[in-house]
Amino acid sequence: MNFRDGAHNLYHIIVAIRYLGLQLLWYFLQIIVSAWYYILIAGNIFESYFISYGVLKKYKSLHIGKLQYLAIVIESEDAHQTSKVVKLLQWLDSVGVKNVCLYDMNGMKGVLKKSKETIFQTLKNAKSIEEVNEDVTHHAPDHMTLEFISYVDGKEAVAKAANLIFVKNFKQHNIGGVLDHQISLEPHLNQALQIVGCKGPEPDLLLVYGLVRSHLGFPAWRIRYTEIVHMGSLNFMRYGSLIKAIYNFTKVRHNYGT
């Protein structure tokens, strides 16, 4: 019995030591990962400041012509900070970005839409996309063109397009045509969205300001070939980070297929 008790106690000691070792290893890995994460954050902050003050000269040469249409997705809580949104737009205007789409997913109308008048009063060099007659993706206006959309716009667009497709298909079936069971294919939807006036320009680059790494319901049919970059919270937006995101986009070769 003594031998068995000793072996049993030894087994429990070994298990406890192994468990303690695994806990220490787990804590050590957590410390390493956390330290690496904070080092990256600190590095990005310093790099942002260097870019802002012109220390990193390569970021001074932006081929801004490659960025014909820029979309900005802002979390609804951050979107209430109109002064920061205006400052962000002023930065974009200073580097030559001419066509910008602002999006948030709050409420029936959207936070940014409600701030539209304030934004236009502050940005004297900006016009609404509804005021501009030309195709904004193929012209370089001397002013900034702004588009305001919200989550509900995407829902209404899909509903209108689906209803149009259904009515068209139903009429065709009633006059003796063949019911199209492939009506949900992309070409049908694109055509329907175009007819109901909800197609809109496709952004080249989409910047997400918020804690969530998501486009937050931005109309999916408009971002098929869009580069998406998460920028963090609008509260901590930095000019250098904005320039870096645009610079990286202009340096990437884009293959859109056939």
Mean pLDDT, contiguous 10-residue spans, the chain (258 residues): 66 84 90 86 81 82 89 89 94 92 77 87 85 60 84 63 60 55 54 56 92 82 88 91 92 64
Eight-state DSSP code of residue 253: -
Same-domain status, 50 and 89: no
Contact present, 86 and 104 (Cβ < 8 Å): no
What pLDDT is stored for residue 196 in this prediction?
Answer: 47
Domain-located, residue 80: yes
pLDDT attached to residue 44 = 79
Q: Is the Cα dihedral 165, 168, 173, 177 positive or negative?
A: negative
Cα 152 from Cα 154, distance rounded (Å): 5
What values do phi and psi take at 241, rounded to 5? -65, -35
Q: Are residues 175 and 204 in the same domain?
A: yes
60 domain residue, yes or no: no
Give pLDDT, residue 258.
47
> Phi and psi for 156 in degrees, rounded to 5?
-65, -35
Task: Indicate if 136 and 185 belong to the same structural domain.
Answer: yes
The C-alpha atoms of residue 29 and residue 8 are separated, in whole angstroms, by 32
The boundaries of the domain holding residue 219 are 65-251
Instruction: Tell me the backbone φ, ψ of residue 232, rounded to 5 degrees.
Output: 85, -170
Record the tokens describing residue 118, joined without a space.
Answer: 């304030």
| Co-location of 28 and 129 in the same domain | no
215 lies in the same domain as 124: yes
